[in-house]
Chains A and B, each alone.
Chain A
Amino acid sequence: MPLSKSRLRLPPALPACLLRHPWWSLAALLLLAFAAWLLYLNWQITSRFEGRRWDLPARVYARPLELYAGLELTAAALEQELARLGYREVSGRPSRPGSYGRRGDALELVTREFRYWDELAPPAAVSLRFADGRLEAVDVAGQDTAIVRLDPLMVGSIFPAHGEDRLVVTPEQVPELLRQALVAVEDRRFSEHPGVDLRALGRAALANLRAGAVTQGGSTLTQQLVKNYFLDNRRTLGRKLTEALMALLLERHYDKAEILNAYVNEIYLGQDGQRAIHGFGLASQFWFSRPLAELELHQLALLVALVRGPGWYDPTAHPERARARRDLVLGLLAEAGHITEAERARAAGRPLDTWDRERAGASYYPGYLALVRAELGEQYRPEDLSRQGLNIFTSLDPRVQASAERRLAERLDALDERQPERRLAGAVVVTAPQSGDVLALVGDRRAGYEGFNRALAARRPVGSLIKPVVYLAALETGRYTLASRIEDAPIELELPNGTRWAPRNFSGEPAGPVTLLRALAESLNLATVGLGLDVGVERVAALLERIGPGPAPAALPSLLLGAVELTPFEVAFVYGTLANGGFRVPPRAVRSVVAANGVPLVRFPVELRQAVEPALVYQLNQALLVAMQRGTGRATTLPLATAGKTGTSDDFRDSWFAGFSGDRLAVVWIGYDDFAPTGLSGASAALPVWQDIMADVAERPYAPPLPRALEARRVDYYSGAPVGRGCASGLVLALPAGTELDRRGGCAERRGLAERTLEWLNDVLD
């Protein structure tokens, strides 16, 4: 709060005595004003310092990586994860937390102490052995547990509007060498001066006079602290005077250790877009992805070098400058006798070693953080999030996120070549459907770009993605099975508003009589509309509400072909219920919240509700599986079984794909932000992205156990008639026990004798 003397107005009626002695009176008044000002400064300092409260932004963490025997993980992938976490590679056996050593297929590491929601985990020495792309053995020293958590990556923070972000450290967490370096470099007579160092000021003034410009500052650490605390950067004489006075007052109230610790937490050390990096605790995380206590000498020296000008000495933008200043700091440390000459030389020989976000496979996660804020917004006020130092634990998986970001960007770059004057937009949501964990969320093709978050906010027509809901509603009536036959024939409707509606098939021609299985796998529009009208559009709308986030869409016939707008996140919700066999599990980012002092606050446990009979969803999913084998998703080459559906809206404005394996669900949307036609179908744009991501992240086939109410029958794909093994177009479907199959149509494609023989031999020899 700037203060000026003009604020102290003279009372309107001046007493007569003042008029008689104008000079004395003026002096007395000035003195009074000065005293008042001093008192005000004193109050400001003590209240700020006593409270000793910084706004502590909430810290957001990714999921901790669980290490256990059998986990699909290569040594290289783990090393990448360790690089993200700033673990230091050592040549021998690692002994300190946050370090590791690797010899071929064996890797040893010491985890950091970490406060989880459920426990304070002490550092653990872990030995790992890898084989065939898996973790083969996990050994935790002194424990017989077969599983250990790696401390999670801090992925972001929720800082206040003024942009100050910091991570406060206690005096015990500050290395002694950092204090020594600050004194040696910034303020050699720190322990002696009363807050202002006149000798240093004089020296600096002389040097500046000689140079003809301001090249040196004579500010003490106390003055620098005051400046960071209360004042802006303008260099005026009045400001300097205020700063000096406040420094003197500060020193009168508090001892040197308290002042130095406040300095360590207050000082500005870097800029990251909107976010100002304050304090050595956060600077250490920001520049090295490590806790302050784990910094090596050359890294510590670089942080001290930054004090003088984080922008000027920015190690990324001006590496030579930063390095020269760092080496100067090292020299001063050696000169003061805090390190030996050999230590100095070794540290000066090291590179800058700053953490490269991109190289470490990390990102900025603005899309995911938006989801975190939205979820917490229901529980917390914005100022609680930006002030109370909450620790927020999420399900974000940096490996999955990296894959989703990269795969989307790669494919869009290639697709853009079709229409080079335009830029496609895209969004991806990846979940673990059983727990509802949102593992990755991409709202813009430019990773790390905070803009329009399409995954959460772009409501787009879903096209054929709606079809599984129509078929599920049909199965629910009990009047249909996947083997039932329906008519794929031209249809024309008069809508309530008087217009006529005549939907068409994607490929043009009506297919005639078809099974439900084929109609869904090949996404036949006419058959779907006929089926949906028979079942009732209201039923379909109500089912969509039941298995998704709601509310129910308007029950118009066009709903049957996907004239309903959903966000990719909402689609992930709906398809999650399918992946979970009818159990509705809302997708969520936040798992739990822990207070700044380590007290567990809230937890968001897994919740589920059976929304549809599991046996019905099992039957439906068979059609989505067949869609991947011979229907609209047949272009996939994934090595494991998946179920999924394409979606293409009118005039090719939206390209969708939603599908799942036994452990991962992904939804991909691609289109233009202005709703212009793209010329791309769900199969030609979204599906390849989906496949690329699933190839990276899916580990288990979609293969749920057969529900007891169903029995396996061999039926013809085209006619639904019961067929024998000699029928090439026959496949085994699980149908309600005792289903009466229509024998008309029989087998559409019989197998030749040779083929049958080979198959028989194959079975015999298998």
Chain B
Amino acid sequence: MAERRTRLITLAALTLAASGCALAPQPGPQDPDADEIPVTAPQRQERRAGPATATLIEQSRALHESGQSAQAAVTLERALRIEPNDPAVWLELARLRYAAADWAQAEQFARRAESLAGGDPALRKQAVELIADSLVRQGRPTEAERLRSGG
């Protein structure tokens, strides 16, 4: 793969050189963001939101609806261990804590979801809403307001 690319480049360079073309450095026709990936993300994060996680989230919802919220939480934690960087799983855990009136942990899980949301504005918005709601429940409406207006 890399070898093929090198050969291709050499070939292209030779062709250009032979044609006497001036090599003016100019921006290539490419994804403008490609240049702007910071050192932290040299390998693009592929989100493998596999069928396993989806199944577990579904199962967890069903368990929660039938009143088995502890089982629902266990099921979500299984998903978390498979897909630890999937914000959807963290958000689901936050909702479960919220439903259990554990506002403080609901806020924390939602913050974790928000920190992983990346390029998913819809999910980010839901996470921010949940953080704000949890803050209100904890008697911190001003912080919630600031967050809502900022997000």
Identify the A interface with B (CB < 8 A).
63, 66, 68-71, 116-119, 145-147, 432-435, 437, 580-583, 592, 600, 603, 605-610, 614, 618, 621-622, 625-626, 629, 640-641, 662-663, 700-707, 710, 712, 714, 725-726, 731-734, 753, 756-758, 760-766
- Rank and list the top 9 A-B pairs by shortest CB-CB distance, nearest first: A705-B118, A68-B52, A434-B84, A712-B36, A734-B38, A118-B74, A764-B28, A701-B43, A614-B115
Could you name 23 residue pairs across A and B whose Cβ atoms are closer than 8 Å?
A66-B78, A71-B82, A118-B70, A147-B52, A147-B78, A432-B84, A433-B84, A435-B81, A582-B115, A605-B77, A606-B93, A626-B39, A641-B43, A662-B84, A703-B45, A704-B116, A705-B41, A725-B35, A733-B39, A734-B40, A757-B13, A760-B28, A763-B28
- A704 and B119 CA atoms in complex are apart in Å by 11
| Inter-subunit contact A434/B80 (CB<8 Å) | yes
Q: Shortest distance in angstroms between A112's beta carbon and chain B's nearest beta carbon?
A: 18
- A762 and B51 CA atoms in complex are apart in Å by 36
Q: Which of B26, B51, B75 contacts A69 (CB 8 A)?
A: B51
Q: Which of B9, B42, B43, B54 contacts A758 (CB 8 A)?
A: B9
Given A610-B111, A641-B43, A734-B40, does the pair A68, B50 have CB atoms closer than 8 Å? yes
- A712 and B37 CA atoms in complex are apart in Å by 7
B55 at the interface (CB under 8 A from A): yes
| Inter-subunit contact B40/A621 (CB<8 Å) | yes
Given A66-B82, A622-B40, does the pair A764, B45 have CB atoms closer than 8 Å? no
Q: Return the chain B residue nearest A482 by Cβ.
A: B39
What total of A-B pairs shows CB separation below 8 Å?
165
- A117 and B71 CA atoms in complex are apart in Å by 8
Identify the B interface with A (CB < 8 A).
5, 8-9, 12-13, 23, 25-26, 28-30, 34-45, 48, 50-52, 54-56, 59, 70-71, 73-75, 77-78, 80-82, 84-85, 93, 105, 108-109, 111-112, 115-119
Q: Shortest distance in angstroms between B108's beta carbon and chain A's nearest beta carbon?
A: 5
Q: Return the chain B residue nearest A733 by Cβ.
A: B38
- A610 and B9 CA atoms in complex are apart in Å by 47
Given A761-B9, A765-B9, does the pair A732, B36 have CB atoms closer than 8 Å? yes
| Inter-subunit contact A68/B74 (CB<8 Å) | no
- A92 and B75 CA atoms in complex are apart in Å by 34
Cβ contacts under 8 Å, A764 to chain B: 28-30
Q: Return the chain A residue nearest B74 by Cβ.
A: A118
Cβ contacts under 8 Å, B108 to chain A: 583, 608-610
- A475 and B80 CA atoms in complex are apart in Å by 30
| Inter-subunit contact A703/B41 (CB<8 Å) | yes
Q: Shortest distance in angstroms between A697's beta carbon and chain B's nearest beta carbon?
A: 14
Q: Return the chain A residue nearest B87 by Cβ.
A: A705
Given A146-B51, A608-B108, A610-B111, does the pair A640, B43 have CB atoms closer than 8 Å? yes
- A629 and B80 CA atoms in complex are apart in Å by 29
| Inter-subunit contact B39/A732 (CB<8 Å) | yes
- A433 and B84 CA atoms in complex are apart in Å by 9
Cβ contacts under 8 Å, B112 to chain A: 580, 583, 608, 610
- A766 and B29 CA atoms in complex are apart in Å by 11
| Inter-subunit contact B117/A705 (CB<8 Å) | yes
Q: Return the chain B residue nearest A756 by Cβ.
A: B25
- A626 and B39 CA atoms in complex are apart in Å by 7
Q: Which of B29, B35, B71 contacts A119 (CB 8 A)?
A: B71
Q: Which of A583, A760, A762 contacts B115 (CB 8 A)?
A: A583
Q: Return the chain A residue nearest B43 by Cβ.
A: A701
Q: Shortest distance in angstroms between A383's beta carbon and chain B's nearest beta carbon?
A: 28
Q: Which of A66, A700, A706, A763 contacts B52 (CB 8 A)?
A: A66
- A618 and B13 CA atoms in complex are apart in Å by 39
Given A432-B84, A703-B43, A764-B30, does the pair A605, B36 have CB atoms closer than 8 Å? no
Q: Which of A116, A605, A732 contacts B38 (CB 8 A)?
A: A732
Q: Return the chain B residue nearest A434 by Cβ.
A: B84
Cβ contacts under 8 Å, B8 to chain A: 765
- A63 and B37 CA atoms in complex are apart in Å by 36
Q: Shortest distance in angstroms between A714's beta carbon and chain B's nearest beta carbon?
A: 8
- A116 and B103 CA atoms in complex are apart in Å by 28
| Inter-subunit contact B71/A704 (CB<8 Å) | no
Cβ contacts under 8 Å, A763 to chain B: 28, 30, 34
| Inter-subunit contact B105/A607 (CB<8 Å) | yes
Q: Return the chain B residue nearest A592 by Cβ.
A: B74
**Of A433, A592, A608, A663, most B-chain CB atoms within 10 Å:** A608
Q: Return the chain A residue nearest B50 by Cβ.
A: A70
- A625 and B40 CA atoms in complex are apart in Å by 7
Q: Shortest distance in angstroms between A262's beta carbon and chain B's nearest beta carbon?
A: 36
Q: Which of A68, A640, A760, A762 contacts B25 (CB 8 A)?
A: A760
Q: Which of A703, A710, A757 contacts B42 (CB 8 A)?
A: A703
Q: Return the chain A residue nearest B9 by Cβ.
A: A761
Cβ contacts under 8 Å, A603 to chain B: 70, 73-74
- A732 and B40 CA atoms in complex are apart in Å by 9
Cβ contacts under 8 Å, B37 to chain A: 712, 732
| Inter-subunit contact A705/B119 (CB<8 Å) | yes
- A140 and B136 CA atoms in complex are apart in Å by 45
| Inter-subunit contact A145/B55 (CB<8 Å) | yes
- A600 and B71 CA atoms in complex are apart in Å by 10
Cβ contacts under 8 Å, B26 to chain A: 760
Cβ contacts under 8 Å, B36 to chain A: 712, 732
**Of A432, A606, A704, most B-chain CB atoms within 10 Å:** A606
| Inter-subunit contact A662/B85 (CB<8 Å) | yes
| Inter-subunit contact B5/A762 (CB<8 Å) | yes
Q: Return the chain A residue nearest B124 by Cβ.
A: A708
Q: Which of B25, B35, B74 contacts A117 (CB 8 A)?
A: B74
- A621 and B42 CA atoms in complex are apart in Å by 13
| Inter-subunit contact A757/B23 (CB<8 Å) | yes
Q: Return the chain A residue nearest B75 by Cβ.
A: A118
- A621 and B38 CA atoms in complex are apart in Å by 11
- A432 and B78 CA atoms in complex are apart in Å by 13
Q: Return the chain A residue nearest B114 by Cβ.
A: A614
| Inter-subunit contact A618/B40 (CB<8 Å) | yes
Apart from A592-B74, A732-B38, A763-B30, what are 18 other A-B pairs with CB-CB below 8 Å? A66-B78, A68-B82, A70-B52, A145-B59, A147-B55, A432-B81, A600-B70, A603-B74, A610-B112, A618-B40, A621-B40, A625-B39, A625-B40, A703-B43, A753-B23, A760-B26, A761-B12, A765-B9
- A305 and B129 CA atoms in complex are apart in Å by 68
Q: Return the chain A residue nearest B44 by Cβ.
A: A703
- A660 and B122 CA atoms in complex are apart in Å by 29
Q: Return the chain A residue nearest B116 by Cβ.
A: A705
| Inter-subunit contact B38/A69 (CB<8 Å) | no
Q: Return the chain B residue nearest A63 by Cβ.
A: B81
Cβ contacts under 8 Å, A762 to chain B: 5, 9
Q: Shortest distance in angstroms between B43's beta carbon and chain A's nearest beta carbon?
A: 4
| Inter-subunit contact A704/B40 (CB<8 Å) | yes
Q: Shortest distance in angstroms between A718's beta carbon and chain B's nearest beta carbon?
A: 15
- A146 and B82 CA atoms in complex are apart in Å by 13
Q: Shortest distance in angstroms between B49's beta carbon and chain A's nearest beta carbon?
A: 10
- A66 and B74 CA atoms in complex are apart in Å by 14
- A712 and B34 CA atoms in complex are apart in Å by 11
**Of B29, B45, B54, B59, most A-chain CB atoms within 10 Å:** B45
Cβ contacts under 8 Å, B38 to chain A: 622, 706, 710, 712, 732-734
Q: Return the chain A residue nearest B71 by Cβ.
A: A118
Q: Return the chain B residue nearest A640 by Cβ.
A: B43
Q: Return the chain A residue nearest B55 by Cβ.
A: A146
- A603 and B74 CA atoms in complex are apart in Å by 9
| Inter-subunit contact B5/A731 (CB<8 Å) | no
Q: Return the chain A residue nearest B28 by Cβ.
A: A764
Cβ contacts under 8 Å, A712 to chain B: 36-38
- A764 and B29 CA atoms in complex are apart in Å by 7
- A433 and B112 CA atoms in complex are apart in Å by 13
| Inter-subunit contact A608/B109 (CB<8 Å) | yes
Cβ contacts under 8 Å, B34 to chain A: 763
